[in-house]
Structure 1
Amino acid sequence: MCSRIEDVITEKARTALLQVLGPLPWLEKAQGEVRPTDQIQLIRPYKGGHELALARWGFVSAGMGTAALKKYAMFNARGETLSESRAFGPAFRTQRCVVPLSAFYEWPTVDGKKRKTRMSRPDGLPLLVAGLWNRCEGSEGTVESCTLVTRPPTSDLLSVHDRMPALLLSKDLETWLHGTPEEAQTAALTSWRTGVLQMQAV
């Protein structure tokens, strides 16, 4: 499960995102690790283009109370079951987004000990993760939330974890955001290729 991410948007990352998604008002953030329930930036379709939004990392469905939020960790959604999921199915059909990251973290076991490992692109370009978002009314007003889609790992990450974020190559962004559910699911599960990420013990 992807439970630690980093969403520092550098100038190089801004330039790359501008080329594929257009100008967006990125927030100046350098908070390092981001944990579930923290706020993260996402990109979603809006009026023929894209908009930037800030959302709670941890999907909130309509009617979920405080007890349910504590009980169910909805910060990841399995890409293989999106269509059938009661929690994520409606958002998968109509509310897909992309979450740009600078890195994500896992804790593989090395020599019998868990070792914190940072995964990122060595070229400094952002990682683009398939995501879902939702907006609902709660006791404290409107809540915007999101979840990261996950998939089985590529061969180079098999030793790290049995899941990984559904990373998208830029050529598959529009398919994820605007394609049919079948097309979008295929993109989320197959877009990424091996040999792109660097892994650093931290």
Structure 2
Amino acid sequence: MCGRFTLTVGENYLKQQYNAKGEVDWLPSYNIAPTQGVLAVVHDGESNRLGKMSWGLIPSWAKDESMRSKMINARLETADEKPSFKRLMAKRRCLILADSFYEWKKEGKEKKPVRIYAPNNEYFAFAGLWDRWKSEKGDMISCTILTKQANQDIDSIHHRMPVILPREYEQEWINFEAKDPSEVKKWVHELSDIPLKHYEVSTYVNSPRNNDETCIERV
């Protein structure tokens, strides 16, 4: 799974990298937690757009927000079948931007936090799905991160990992045209993994209230 991550890269730089439109107020974040805002890129049929989404999917058909904390991740293996994700796999795909994520490695009775990052990239993109939920308070745009079986870089830490798209396939992922959900799943499964490294960090990161550079310091 993916339950906490970071994005410390500047908004203006990312807008340039993705040739994206949109104005957002984004500050570097060292401890992004579920239900918080994330920075994402979508394609609107004409151009890329950069903006904020709420992490934790609320499907458009949901009666209330109660399920969002349980919808931070979507399993790639079944996303083309589940009612909450199938339609989104076809057309509502997004890039959720990050520069590292955290997992907790179990050692005996302890769980030690580990920061996982891509040594060759300043930032990367999780494969995400998004939806628009209408309520009396207005529209809410929310998202979820696709996950898959961990590769050899991660499996000693956790058995699942987020789907991280190779840079050259990011644009294809958010292509506006509708696609068959099963074909999308097959395409993602065939992508190569980007190299990842990791190191242990302090339990300071355990609390979402802590959000500064201390979260990413090695111990």
TM-score, L = length of structure 2: 0.80
Aligned to 1:156, which of 153, 156, 159?
153
Matched residue, 1:198 = 197
Unaligned runs of 5+ in 2: 202-219
Residue 69 of structure 1 aligns to which amino acid in structure 2? M
Residue 199 of structure 2 aligns to which amino acid in structure 1? Q
Residue 174 of structure 1 aligns to which amino acid in structure 2? Q
The CA deviation at 1:111 is: 5.2
Higher helix residue share: 1
Matched residue, 1:93 = 90
Aligned length: 197
The CA deviation at 1:96 is: 0.5
**What do residues 26-82 of structure 1 show as CA deviations (whole Å, max 9, x unaligned)?**
643123101110011110112322101211100001242447336x60010011111
**What do residues 153-181 of structure 1 show as CA deviations (whole Å, max 9, x unaligned)?**
11121111111000000122233223733
Aligned to 1:42, which of 32, 40, 45?
40
Cα root mean square deviation, aligned: 2.4
1:151–1:188: 8 Å Cα contact kept in structure 2? no
Matched residue, 2:140 = 143
Aligned to 1:64, which of 57, 62, 65?
62
Distance 2:55 2:83 in 1: 19
The CA deviation at 1:124 is: 4.7
After superposition, the Cα gap between the structure-2 partners of 1:199 and 1:98, relative to the gap in structure 1 and judged at 3 Å, is same
Identity across matched positions, percent: 25
Residue 168 of structure 2 aligns to which amino acid in structure 1? K
After superposition, the Cα gap between the structure-2 partners of 1:192 and 1:35, relative to the gap in structure 1 and judged at 3 Å, is farther
Unaligned runs of 5+ in 1: none
TM-score, L = length of structure 1: 0.86
Correspondence 1:79 to 2:65? no
DSSP 3-state at the match of 1:173: helix
Residue 32 of structure 1 aligns to which amino acid in structure 2? Y
Residue 136 of structure 1 aligns to which amino acid in structure 2? W
2:24–2:51: 8 Å Cα contact kept in structure 1? no
After superposition, the Cα gap between the structure-2 partners of 1:64 and 1:44, relative to the gap in structure 1 and judged at 3 Å, is same
1:118–1:200: 8 Å Cα contact kept in structure 2? yes
1:175–1:183: 8 Å Cα contact kept in structure 2? no
After superposition, the Cα gap between the structure-2 partners of 1:190 and 1:155, relative to the gap in structure 1 and judged at 3 Å, is farther
Distance 1:185 1:62 in 2: 22
